[in-house]
Structures are given as C-alpha cells and as structure tokens.
C-alpha cells in the first residue's frame, strides 16, 4: 500500500482527507481522543465519588500531569529510535488495557482512590510515548501540500472531543454508572490500535547512537536553531501563564460570577467551539503563507481576550461577555497552536521530529504547574487579577517578540534550509 495513496472521489474533501491512510488514521484518532477525554472526565468524577475531597482532586491532577512532563522527552527519543507505527499500536493497546482494568475494578466495587491515582499516572506516562510517535508519524501519510490541513484536522479531532466527550461521558455515567464510561474510553484506544495494524509503515532513518546521546543531539539541535528554540519557549510561556486559566475556572463560576457548574460548562464549551471552528476552517486550506504573523497574532489575541475575560468577570460582572471572551480565547489559542505545530512539522528533519515534538509537547503539559502558580497569585490578588497578570506576561514575552523579531515575522514554511540557518 502506497504511503500517500489518494482517495478517488469528487466530494469536496479537505486536502488531508484526500489521502487514504491519513483519513483512516484520523477516524481512529477521533475514537481514541473521545475515549481519552471520556476517561479524564470519568476519573475526576470517580475520585470525587470515592473521597469527596478537593485535596484528592488536586493530587489526581498532579498524577495526570507530572509523568507526562517527565517522560515526554523520552517519548520523543523513542519515536526517533523505534518503529513509530509499532509504538503507536503498543501504546494504544496499553492505554486501552489500563482504562479497561480501572473499569473492571469499578464494576466489581473493588476500586479505591489509590487505584485511580496509579492508573492516572500510568496513562499519563504511556501517553507521552504515544503522543510523540503519533505526531511524528501522521505527517508521512500526506504530501507536503496537505500538511497544514492534516495538522488542523488533528486539532479538530481534539477540539471535537473536548466538547463532545464530557457530554457523552456524563450521559453514560448518569444512565449506566461510572464503569461503562471506562469501557467506552478503552474501546476508543483499542479502535485506533486496530486501524494502525492495517496502515503501512513509514520509512524512517534511525540513529545508531545511544538514547542519551540522541536526547542530547535533539536538545542541541533545538538550542542551535533559533527558530525552533523560540517556538518551544513561547509555547512554554503560553501554556504556563495563559492556558492554565482553566484551573481557576471553578473560582470564577462560583465566587466571582455565581453561575455554578452549569456556567462552567458553558464557558468551557464556548472555548471548545471557538477552537473547533478555527480548526475546521484551517482544515480546508492547503498552506499557511505567513506562520510567523499568525503566531504573533494568536498570542496577541490570546492575551487580550484573557484580560477582557478578567474585566468582564471582576469589573463588569457580565457572564455573557465572559462567554464571548472565552470563545475568543479558544479561537486565538488554536491559531497560535496550529501555526507553531505546522511550522515544526514542516521544518524539522524527520530524523529529529520525534525528539523536537517531545520537547514541544512537554511545554503543553506545564498547564498543571502553571495552575499552581496562578493559584498562588490568585490567593493574593484574586482569580481575575491572576489571569490578567498571566495574560500580560504572554503579551510582553510572546506577542511582542513574535512581531519584533524579523526572523519570526518573516517566517516562511516553504524553505526549511533558510529558516534553520536563521
């Protein structure tokens, strides 16, 4: 089977969907990420059922985030040393087995908080290897001209799950109990594993060096390539100071706006819908002509929208305006994220793609740590003030340099050699 075999159809499909292997991969990805998001929802629900303690919720958040932060780089090294398709299959099977085990423990009434925490940590660690392998593999299933579409459609899958999975998991738990939600989540992971079995291997140049040497080579490549170092650094700052606003959402909806859990669901859904609309819109495009401008604009709009959200909640006390602001955050963060990801995918050599993506993915897992920082700031100045401070940091350290630095402002994805020399 040809790696980039095309789908023969007259239907107006997005560019990436015209490649058979990517289309099959994407269908499996949707099943997998809906399952993963359902698992996330169910584990927090279950730990609350078992303990009723907010402390355990915090510990669960740490168990879900810390292994990913530690192991993402190792996952990137593995993606460059091992067969990526095989690594995706093995990790998806492991994820499905872990979630299925927790479901069986729940169904038999033998589950304990310790079980939930252990499975959460193991899922986080395994997913670190899965994410790097998938992110390094799927670009090989499309030609270069459809890569922007592939990145956008991947984002669309995650954003669809962000909106759909909590609703599906909530209905399943309300109707049948918590265990079936875990069985549903496990089936999603196993579905992607099954599809990957029938997809072709992508030719892959592998390093003959030791793993630690490979890790050092990847880090050295990033440090010595200003464009990549900048992209990973600004992703860290944006994740740590901006995206972590989500961790303070209960404070906004209960203490500031007084709209409760229903209001929180509306706000999170608004962000998800905004992100999904951007992903779908970009998914039908073939190119991103000025990614540097898009990166700067996304960061600028993100910081501005979060400040507007803070003003809407604290100063104006307006829930409708807060919904509009969070919708704008979802739009702008997705523009930023897809612009960075597309640039990395187009410019990073395949030999190093797993390691660079591993470093990049680690920065997104800093949301948990960023939430701790914002929580400490919020204890002194309130949640709206903390989010506004984080947004201001993003404006100064991300948006301003993105527009000010000629190498970023003039960034083009068409000539990798020029960018790497910059």
pLDDT for 422? 38
Is the separation of the CB atoms in 323 and 271 below 8 Å?
Answer: no
Residue 3 lies in a domain: no
Residue 2 lies in a domain: no
Q: Give yes or no for residue 250 having a pLDDT over 80.
A: no
Residue 354 lies in a domain: yes
More reliable by pLDDT, 242 or 418? 242
Strand partners, 6: 19
User: Does 32 share its domain with 79?
Assistant: yes
pLDDT tier for residue 420 given thresholds of 50, 70 and 90: very low
pLDDT digits (tens, 9 = 90+) for 276-293: 888 888 777 666 667 888
pTM over 0.95: no
User: Does 264 share its domain with 379?
Assistant: yes
User: Does 155 share its domain with 70?
Assistant: yes
Nearest to 232 by CA among 376, 75, 72: 72
Strand partners, 19: 6
User: Does 305 share its domain with 189?
Assistant: no
pLDDT for 288? 64
Q: What is the tally of structural domains in the chain?
A: 2
Nearest to 102 by CA among 33, 58, 44, 43: 43
Q: Give yes or no for residue 305 having a pLDDT over 60.
A: yes
User: Does 200 share its domain with 226?
Assistant: no
pLDDT for 221? 85
User: Does 197 share its domain with 282?
Assistant: no
More reliable by pLDDT, 10 or 340? 340
Question: Domain boundary at 159, 189, 206, which?
Answer: 206
| CB burial string 339-360: b at 16+ within 10 A, e below | bbbbbbbbbbeebbbbbbbbbb
User: Does 35 share its domain with 165?
Assistant: yes
Which domain range does residue 392 map to? 213-422
Q: Give yes or no for residue 418 having a pLDDT over 50.
A: no
For residue 19, give the 3-state DSSP assignment: strand
Q: Give yes or no for residue 380 having a pLDDT over 50.
A: yes
More reliable by pLDDT, 248 or 238? 238
Q: Give yes or no for residue 126 having a pLDDT over 90.
A: yes
Q: Give yes or no for residue 167 having a pLDDT over 80.
A: no
More reliable by pLDDT, 183 or 208? 183
The CATH number of whichever domain residue 247 belongs to comes to 1.20.1250.20
Top mean-pLDDT range of 5-19, 106-120, 166-180, 219-233:
106-120
Is the separation of the CB atoms in 38 and 184 below 8 Å?
Answer: yes
User: Does 288 share its domain with 271?
Assistant: yes
User: Does 365 share its domain with 252?
Assistant: yes
Top mean-pLDDT range of 39-43, 55-59, 164-168:
39-43
Residue 332 lies in a domain: yes
User: Does 198 share its domain with 269?
Assistant: no
pLDDT for 287? 63
């Amino acid at each position: 089977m040809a790696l980039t075999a095309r789908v023969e159809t007259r239907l107006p499909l997005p560019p990436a969907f015209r490649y058979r292997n990517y289309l099959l991969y994407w269908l499996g990805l949707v099943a997998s990420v809906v399952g993963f998001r359902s698992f996330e929802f169910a584990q927090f629900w279950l730990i609350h059922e078992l303990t009723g303690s907010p402390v355990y919720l915090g510990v669960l958040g740490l168990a879900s985030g810390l292994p990913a932060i530690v192991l993402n780089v190792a996952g990137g090294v593995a993606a460059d040393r091992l067969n990526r398709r095989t690594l995706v299959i093995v990790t998806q099977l492991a994820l499905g087995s872990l979630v299925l085990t927790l479901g069986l423990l729940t169904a038999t009434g033998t589950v304990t908080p310790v079980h939930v925490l252990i499975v959460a940590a193991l899922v986080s660690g395994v997913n670190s290897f899965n994410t790097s392998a998938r992110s390094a593999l799927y670009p090989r299933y499309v030609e270069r001209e459809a890569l922007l579409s592939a990145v956008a459609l991947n984002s669309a899958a995650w954003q669809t799950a962000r909106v759909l999975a909590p609703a599906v998991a909530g209905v399943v738990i309300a109707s049948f109990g918590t265990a079936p939600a875990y069985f549903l989540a496990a089936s999603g992971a196993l579905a992607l594993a099954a599809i990957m079995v029938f997809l072709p291997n992508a030719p892959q140049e592998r390093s003959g060096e030791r793993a630690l040497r490979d890790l050092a080579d990847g880090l050295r490549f990033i440090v010595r390539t200003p464009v990549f170092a900048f992209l990973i650094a600004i992703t860290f700052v944006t994740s740590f100071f901006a995206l972590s606003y989500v961790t303070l959402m209960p404070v906004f909806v209960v203490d500031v706006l007084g709209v409760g859990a229903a209001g929180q669901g509306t706000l999170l859904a608004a962000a998800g819908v905004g992100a999904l609309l951007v992903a779908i819109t970009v998914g039908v495009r073939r190119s991103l002509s000025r990614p540097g401008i898009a990166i700067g604009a996304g960061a600028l709009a993100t910081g501005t929208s979060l400040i507007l959200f803070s003003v809407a909640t604290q100063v104006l006390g307006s829930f409708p305006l807060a919904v509009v602001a969070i919708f704008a955050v979802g739009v702008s963060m997705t523009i930023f994220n897809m612009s960075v990801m597309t640039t990395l995918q187009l410019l990073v050599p395949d030999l190093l793609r797993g390691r660079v993506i591993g470093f990049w993915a680690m920065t997104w897992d800093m949301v948990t740590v960023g939430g701790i920082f914002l929580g400490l700031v919020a204890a002194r100045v309130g949640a709206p003030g903390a989010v506004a401070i984080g947004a201001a940091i993003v404006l100064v350290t991300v948006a301003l340099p993105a527009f000010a630095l000629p190498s970023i402002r003039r960034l083009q994805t068409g000539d990798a050699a020029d960018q790497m020399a910059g």
